[in-house]
Amino acid sequence: KHREDKPFAVMVADLDTAHALCVIDPAAQRVLVGRRRPVVLLPRRPDTPLAPAVAPGNRNLGLMLPYTPLHHLLLRDTAGPIVLTSGNVSDEPISYQDEDARRRLAGIADAFLTHDRAIHMRTDDSVMRVFRGAELPVRRARGYAPEPLTLAQPAPRPILGCGAELKSTFCLARGRHAFMSHHIGDLENYETLRSFTEGITHFRRLFDVQPEVVAHDLHPEYLSTKYAHDLPDVELIGVQHHHAHIASCLADNGVAGPVLGVAFDGLGYGSDGTLWGGEFLLADLAGFQRLAHLVPVPMPGGTAAIRQPWRMAAAYLGSDAPEELAQRHAERWDAVLAMAHRQVNAPLTSSAGRLFDAVAAVLGIRDTINYEGQAAVELEQRADLTERGSYPAAVTKGPALQLHGADLVRAVAADLQAGVAPEIISTRFHHGVADAIIRVCVMLRESTGVRVAALSGGVFQNVLLLERTVAGLEQSGFRVLTHSRVPPNDGGISLGQVAVAGALLRAGSERSNPVPALAD
C-alpha cells in the first residue's frame, strides 16, 4: 500500500486479547467496546508479540474489536490478532466496487471476498485517542458519521462547508443539525476529488439539504476552494483556516465565544497571504483578531521542507546546527541555508508543525517523512514521560506578541551536544511549547479580559502536549475547551466553516470574506 512507516490497525477477537496487547483503562475500554467500534490508540505492552512493522517507532497500537459477523468468523478461524486495513492504495479513496477493486488492488491483495449486495458508500474506520476520560477524535468516520451534530445556534439558511485539503471532510447544515461527512482523505488527486463531490451529492440527497451558502478555505489552490467557486447560484463565504479551527472547537463545545483560541497545526493560508500555523486568536464565531503567533521562519524549498524536516532544522539553526545534522545532508546543506537566508523559494511560516519537524530532525529522529505529521508523531513517541524539565522561549511585544520558537530549537541542539538523551530532550521540548502557550494566554488575558481558552489544530492530537497545556491553563484560572466530537485536525475544519458562516448570516453580514483586520 506504499505506507512504509505508517502504523496499521489491529483487530482482536475479544477484550482479553486486547488487554494482553495493550494497557487499557476503563475510559478506553468503554470506547473500544462501544457500539461505534472505532480504532482506539492505546499504549502497547513492552512484550507485545506483534511484528515491528505493524506500528514502527510507535509505543501505541491502534486496536479494534469486530463489528461485523464476517470479522467474528475470520477471527474465530485465525490463531491471533489480524491487521485490518482499508482496501486502497495510500492517498487514494477506498475501492468499494468489485471491478474497481480488482483493477486497483491486484498488486496488493492475494484474494477478494465479494458479496451479492453492493456497497452503497465507502467509509474508513474511525480513529480515537482517549484524553481525560473522553474521546479525542483523530478520524471521524464509520460509526460516527453521518450522525448529525447539534449546533448551539441554528443555521439561518442551508450551508455547505467544503473543508480544507488534508484530511478532507465536508459538512451540510440545516437548522440546528450539522451533517459532517466521513473522512475522505487528502484532496490532492482526481480520485479523492471525485469521492468528495460524490459524497456531497449523496448527502444532499440523503438529508434533503440544498445549500444556498457555501463556506470555503481562503487558500486559492485548494481543490475544495475551487469546487466552491465553481458552484452556481450560491453565496460564497471565505473562512480563514485557523479561525475555522477555533470555530470547530467552539461548535464542538456548544460555545459562541469570545475565547482565546490557540490554533497550532502544519500550516494554513493566512489573511495576510502568508502561511500561518502557530496562532493565538481572540475569536468568536463571527470573527477574530490575531493577537500573537510564532515568529515566522523560512521554509527552504517550500513544500519540500514539509517532506524533509531537516530543511526546517537548517532554517531554525543555520550555521549553529549540530555538525552531524549538516554532515547527513552535506550535498545540499549550503544551498538550503542560502535559500533560507535569501528567502528565495522559502516562504515564511509561523507553523507549529514545522517547529516540531525541526526538533525531530535535530534529534535524528526523522529527516524525511513518508506520511503527514510523521516527524511530530515519532517525536512524541520518543518522549521520556518521567522527565519534568522544560525549555524557555522568549515572547516579544509588537503589533502582535511573537513567540520565539527558535529558542526552543537552540535549547534542543545545546542539550544534544551536551550528551543529553533524545528522550529527555523531547519531553523538555514538549513541556517548553506547553509552558510558552500558557504564558502567552496569560499575557493576552491581561489585555482582553477573556478567561476561556480553546485549543485546536492537528498539533493538539499530541496528548503529551495537550495534557501539559490544559493542566497549566486550568491552574492559571482558565476554562479550557478541547475537542471530543470532531477532530482537532483539518478533519474538523468543515464544521468550523459552517459555524462561522451561520454566525455571519445571523449577524446580517453581507461580506464574502469574514476576516477582519489584524489586531493593532
In the chain, what are the domain boundaries?
9-123
Chain mean pLDDT for the chain: 93
**pLDDT over threshold 50, residue 511:** no
Q: Report pLDDT for 143.
A: 95
Residue 514 confidence (pLDDT) above 80: no
Q: What percent of the chain has pLDDT over 90?
A: 82
Cα–Cα distance between 474 and 479 in angstroms, integer? 6
Report, at the CATH architecture level, how domain 9-123 is classified.
Answer: 2-Layer Sandwich (3.30)
Angle, helices 352-362 vs 310-317, to 10°: value is 90
Grid coordinates in use for 156?
439561518
The model's pTM: 0.93
| pLDDT value of position 519 | 37
7-21, 110-124, 347-361: segment of lowest average pLDDT: 110-124
Nearest partner of 384 among 368, 405, 353, 363, judged by Cα = 363
And the C-alpha cell for 267? 500550516
Strand ordering across the sheet containing 213-217: 171-180, 149-161, 213-217, 235-239
Query: 317-334: per-residue pLDDT in tens?
Result: 998 999 999 999 999 999
pLDDT at residue 380, as a whole number = 96
pLDDT tens-digit profile of 72-99? 999 998 878 999 888 887 777 888 888 9
Calculate the CA 463 to chain-centre distance.
12
Residue 439 pLDDT: 98
- The rounded distance, in Å, linking the Cα atoms of 22 and 338 is 47
pLDDT value of residue 79: 77
The fraction of the chain above a pLDDT of 70, given in percent, is 97
Q: How confident is the model at residue 517 (pLDDT cuts 50, 70, 90)?
A: very low
Confidence check: pLDDT of 302 > 50:
yes
- The pLDDT tens digits of the residues spanning 239-292 come to 999 999 999 999 999 999 899 999 999 999 999 999 999 999 999 999 999 999
Strand (E) or helix (H) holding 83: strand 82-84
How crowded is the C-beta side of 380, counted as CA atoms within 13 Å?
20
Q: Quote the CA–CA distance of 139 and 98 in Å, as a whole number.
A: 26
Residue 520 pLDDT > 90: no
- Angstrom CA distances, 73 to 16, 78, 319, stand at 18, 9, 60
**Digit-coded pLDDT (tens) for 434-446:** 999 999 999 999 9
Residue 509 has pLDDT above 70, yes or no: no
Residue 271 to residue 518: CA distance in whole angstroms: 8
DSSP letter for each residue of 242-284? HHHHHHHHHHHHT----EEEEEEEEEEE-TTSSEEEEEEEEE-
State whether the Cα torsion 435-500-170-481 is positive or negative: positive
- Proportion of the chain in helix, strand, coil states, percent, rounded to 5: 40, 20, 40
- 414-434: pLDDT as tens digits: 999 999 999 999 999 999 999
DSSP letter for each residue of 340-397: HHHTSS--EE--HHHHHHHHHHHTTS-SS-SSTTHHHHHHHHT--TT--------EE-
Mean local confidence (pLDDT), 341-362? 95
Q: Are strands 348-349 and 395-396 parallel, antiparallel or unpaired?
A: unpaired
Alpha carbons 71 and 313: distance in angstroms, whole number: 45
pLDDT-derived band of residue 1, with 50, 70 and 90 as boundaries?
Answer: low
Per-residue pLDDT tens for 112-157?
A: 988 888 888 888 999 999 999 999 999 999 999 999 999 999 999 9
Whole-number Cα distances in Å, 88 to 105, 166, 224, 248, 278 = 7, 17, 22, 29, 33
What angle, 0 to 180 degrees and rounded to 10, lies between the N-to-C axes of helices 493-506 and 241-253?
80
**Locate cell 550555521: which residue?**
319
